[in-house]
């Protein structure tokens, strides 16, 4: 699972983020999380298409942070295929070789198909994601 979070630390922690700002930032984190899910799915190896369809996302929010998470789950008879395809060294099959990989709408390069498809998505697009979140935060403040 790849996670990222946006924390808002205030000098006076008794004050909560205003509802409007929080709502805006929840939407922005959802935008980024859905993009990350889409790009990682496009960069996951392909055999039957099951793995790409198993991407899940969640948004967690409290009074001082909002966090988005993307994960993949594809297990069969105790074997975690999603973890293996993400972490192991292996040769891509013909169908995976034909995939182009994913590209984020927030910038960054094309994420290659294969090992590390989820973490590579985050690392290659982190600055674009953070720029978008910062822009949305500034807009919400004005």
Better pLDDT: 8 or 124: 124
Site of tokens 């991407």: 55
> Mapping DSSP to helix (H, G, I), strand (E, B) and coil, where does residue 13 land?
coil
Split at pLDDT 50, 70, 90, the class of 21 is: confident
Report pLDDT for 107.
86
Instruction: Inform me whether the pLDDT recorded for 64 exceeds 70.
Output: yes
* Side-chain-side CA neighbours of residue 25 (13 Å): 25
Q: What is the pTM of this model?
A: 0.85
The region, left, alpha or beta by phi > 0 then psi within -120 to 50, assigned to residue 107 is left
Of the two residues 14 and 104, the one the predictor is more confident about is 104
Mean pLDDT of 113-118: 95
């Amino acid at each position: 699972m790849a996670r990222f979070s946006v924390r808002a630390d205030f000098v006076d922690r008794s004050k909560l983020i205003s509802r409007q700002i929080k709502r805006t930032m929840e939407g922005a984190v959802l935008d980024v999380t859905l993009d990350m899910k889409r790009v990682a799915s496009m960069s996951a190896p392909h055999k039957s298409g099951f793995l790409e369809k198993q991407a899940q996302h969640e948004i967690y929010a409290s009074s001082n942070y909002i966090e988005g998470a993307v994960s993949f789950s594809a297990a069969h008879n105790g074997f975690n295929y999603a973890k293996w395809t993400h972490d192991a060294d292996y040769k891509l099959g013909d169908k995976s070789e034909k995939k182009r990989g994913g590209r984020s709408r927030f910038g960054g390069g094309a994420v290659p198909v294969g090992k590390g498809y989820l973490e590579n998505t985050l690392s290659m697009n982190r600055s674009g994601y953070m720029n978008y979140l910062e822009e949305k935060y500034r807009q919400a403040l004005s």
